[in-house]
């Protein structure tokens, strides 16, 4: 059960993802979480650095969709200025949300990665759909809402079990 929470890759930030390697493996789509993955949970708009990264992603031939459990107002305010499609109120880790994001991209699971900061939503949902999952370190964990804090508590329990089984190492990025 806990193995479903294991990401295929771990990085500190989205900027650490080797886009050329993903492309060489046939990846053409990115489903990304918003809050604490791309920007802090209380940051309304993309930073210039993030806007440049998203342009680089697009220029390399990737399609991107934001998949967020947050409300339409929050997600659209962030995504529309960037011309990035989005799915709001997703209820991750529900399969329906990931199927909807794949439909927006027009890509199959084997050509798509999921990037997110939560094992209980992004990684679990992506793994259940057969997607390549990338876990990033949360940008601003102090700004998280109550449900995310509950998820973080469950993640700590899962991580303890995964460490005991020798499946998780703290320095084990990429």
Helix extents (H) in 86-168: 95-105, 124-128, 146-164
Report which DSSP code applies to 122.
I
Q: For the segment 107-119, what is each residue's pLDDT rounded down to a tens digit? A: 999 999 999 999 9
Does residue 155 register a pLDDT over 90? Answer: no
Q: Class for domain 2-164, per CATH?
A: alpha beta
- Give the global pTM: 0.89
109 with 130: CB under 8 angstroms? yes
Tokens 């199927």 locate to 99
Q: For the segment 71-95, what is each residue's pLDDT rounded down to a tens digit? A: 999 999 999 999 999 999 999 999 9
What pLDDT, on the 0 to 100 scale, is given for residue 156?
79
Q: Residue 173 — pLDDT band, cuts 50, 70, 90? A: low
Sign of CA dihedral 146, 147, 148, 151: positive
């Amino acid at each position: 059960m806990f193995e479903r929470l294991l990401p295929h890759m771990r990085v500190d930030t989205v900027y650490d993802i080797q886009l050329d390697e993903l492309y060489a493996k046939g990846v053409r789509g990115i489903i990304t979480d918003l809050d604490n993955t791309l920007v802090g949970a209380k940051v309304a708009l993309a930073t210039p650095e993030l806007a440049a990264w998203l342009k680089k992603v697009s220029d390399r031939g990737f399609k991107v969709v934001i998949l967020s459990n947050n409300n339409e107002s929050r997600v659209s305010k962030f995504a529309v200025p960037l011309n990035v499609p989005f799915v709001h109120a997703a209820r991750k880790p529900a399969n329906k949300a990931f199927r909807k994001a794949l439909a927006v991209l027009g890509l199959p699971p084997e050509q798509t990665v999921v990037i997110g900061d939560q094992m209980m939503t992004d990684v679990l949902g992506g793994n259940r759909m057969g997607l390549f999952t990338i876990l990033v370190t949360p940008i601003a964990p102090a700004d998280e809402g109550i449900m995310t804090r509950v998820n973080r508590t469950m993640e700590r329990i899962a991580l303890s079990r995964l460490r005991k089984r020798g499946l998780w190492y703290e320095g084990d990025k990429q």
